[in-house]
Structure 1
Amino acid sequence: MNHLVDAYLATWNAAPADREQLLVEHFSPDVSYTDPLAQVSGHAGLDALVDGVHAQFPGFVFTPVGAVDGHHDRIRFQWGLGPAGAEPVVVGFDVVVLDEDGRIRDVHGFLDKVPA
């Protein structure tokens, strides 16, 4: 579980040139992603969403917050987004559902802390 969460966060932190390989390796081709601000599907949709977050929060990084938990084909974890080495400005909680190959098929995201 921790490896998959690390890969998930690495995908969100990756530069566009490196992100494609992470998407192919760790996300189902028909991945769906839903949070309060976005709903996208497929590698291209998720890639565009990550680009948008990088544009909105330049230089910020995603980091794990707390322990990872899971059962069957579901994993839940909390993450932070902020300047490297600083307190996260945004904190969220994601639940991912894996496909039969162990790749991320669905992401259900929640925002616990957002800037005013």
Structure 2
Amino acid sequence: MSTEPDYDHLLRSNLQRVFNERDPAARATALDELYVAEPTMFEPDAVVHGRAEISRIAGQLLERFGPDFAFTPIGSAVGHHGLAHLAWQAGPNNGPVAVTGADVAEIQDGRIARLWVLLNPPT
């Protein structure tokens, strides 16, 4: 009998250690730990292949939105049978929420293989 990975820990770590990490070396280390060797990330306007490209996109996002911008999980991630979901919000620290969405991940051997970044429509 196989055991399920800790989906909440995995997706929260992804949010904090990849998408909130401003240090490229620390982000690369996190990607090596959290993602399979050749992951794919699906964004609303792009498909990104590989850890290095995911790191580049995360770094660009943080640069574009400024030093106080951060992603914050909403609730806990849920998942089973290799599929997980974590809702989040993002914006400046102590500021208004700029965007909300969710990460949906396909997990293989305890690591993220494919990640879909879903954005909620603006309210």
Aligned partner letter, 1:41: H
Q: CA–CA distance in 2 between the matches of 1:17 and 1:8?
A: 15
Q: Give the C-alpha shift of residue 36 in structure 1.
A: 0.7
List aligned pairs for 1:1-116, cutoff 5 A.
1-10=7-16, 11-15=18-22, 16-59=24-67, 60-99=69-108, 101-114=109-122
CA RMSD between the two structures: 1.6
What are structure 1's unaligned runs of at least 5 residues?
A: none
Count of aligned positions: 114
Are the equivalent residues in 2 in contact too, given 1:34–1:108 (CA < 8 A)? yes
Taking only the aligned residue pairs, the percentage that are identical comes to 31
Moved over 6 A (4+): none
Are the equivalent residues in 1 in contact too, given 2:72–2:90 (CA < 8 A)? yes
TM-score between the two structures when normalised by the length of structure 2: 0.84
Q: Give the C-alpha shift of residue 30 in structure 1.
A: 0.7
Aligned partner letter, 2:88: W
